[in-house]
Structure 1
Amino acid sequence: MSLIGFEHVGMTASDLDRTIAFYCDLMGLRLALRKPNVAFLDAGGGMLEIFGPAEGATPSRDVPPGEAGMRHLTLAYSDVDAMIETLEAAGVPIVERPRDAHNTEMVRRVAFVRDPDGIIVELIERAPGR
């Protein structure tokens, strides 16, 4: 028995349609499956499963230091600086503007934004050779 690969990560959204539009129209994911309260978005190496409860949901909160949990979702792009310009023009909240990464063995450039529910999304350019 061996690992085949990363399948998906699940999240909850307050407005499923708005979240699908954000990730597909702005971030470049592809809608793979849509049902009334759930959608699967293809990120090119795994999926993002988004659950949209009929009664909505409260905004996400950041995981504080010392508390276990998911801190952010990371998506890789060929040009982080250009992607941030596009997102900024669309009114997406920028948490951290593009900069050189700390872990240069893995990542060349990095930036952070927030999705419509406040979830932090990291945008990266992979290090050469990755």
Structure 2
Amino acid sequence: MLRGFEHVGMTSGNLDRTIAFYCDLLGLRLALRKPAAKGELAFLDAGGGMLEIFAPASAIDRSRDVPPAEAGMRHLTFAFDDVDAMIGKLEAAGVEVVERPRDAYNTEMMRRVAFVRDPDGIIVELIERAEGR
């Protein structure tokens, strides 16, 4: 029996910077941080699931976008009460905005959307949920 969504695993080039982005700016909560084999590990709680972040001790390349014709994770999505306000906060912090807030295409699921990049180049979608969700 399925109990719920647990976590997504990610790799970071700088754990401090990644925690600052997801916790200080987006509002996730640091649940665990500890040394791991060949690096460091953190779990960030998003309320309905977590991000597992592994930061290797050696340097890594920046994330690349997954082309539409290639399997892979294209973005992470977090829901907020006010996407426009969040984009203002992220812009003030120097976060790269990929797409400014706009009305959503999938209006059955969301009202407004915007896209930014995290410190490692991973695309993060910010949404306002549709009425009744």
Q: Fold conserved (TM > 0.5)?
A: yes
Residues 95-110 of structure 1 mapped to structure 2, 5 A cutoff:
95-110=98-113
Q: Could you tell me which residue of structure 2 aligns to residue 60 of structure 1?
A: 63
Task: Render the CA deviation track for 1:70-96: whole Å, top value 9, x for unaligned.
Answer: 000000101000000000000000000
Identical-pair percentage: 81
Task: Render the CA deviation track for 1:24-76: whole Å, top value 9, x for unaligned.
Answer: 00111000000121000000100000000000311000001210000000001
Give me the TM-score of the superposition, normalised by structure 1. Answer: 0.98
After the TM superposition, list the runs of 4 or more consecutive aligned residues in structure 1 that deviate by more than 2 angstroms.
none
Q: Could you tell me which residue of structure 2 aligns to residue 7 of structure 1?
A: 6
SS in structure 1 at match of 2:116 = strand
1:113 aligns with 2:116: yes
SS in structure 1 at match of 2:32 = strand
Q: Could you tell me which residue of structure 2 aligns to residue 44 of structure 1?
A: 47
CA displacement at 1:117 relative to structure 2: 0.5
Amino acid at match of 1:112: F
Q: Could you tell me which residue of structure 1 aligns to residue 77 of structure 2?
A: 74
1:66 and 1:52 mapped to 2: Cα distance?
Answer: 28
RMSD over aligned CA atoms reads 0.6
Amino acid at match of 2:71: A
Q: Could you tell me which residue of structure 2 aligns to residue 89 of structure 1?
A: 92
Give me the TM-score of the superposition, normalised by structure 2. Answer: 0.96
The gaps in structure 2 that reach 5 residues or longer are none
Q: How many residues align?
A: 129
Amino acid at match of 1:11: M
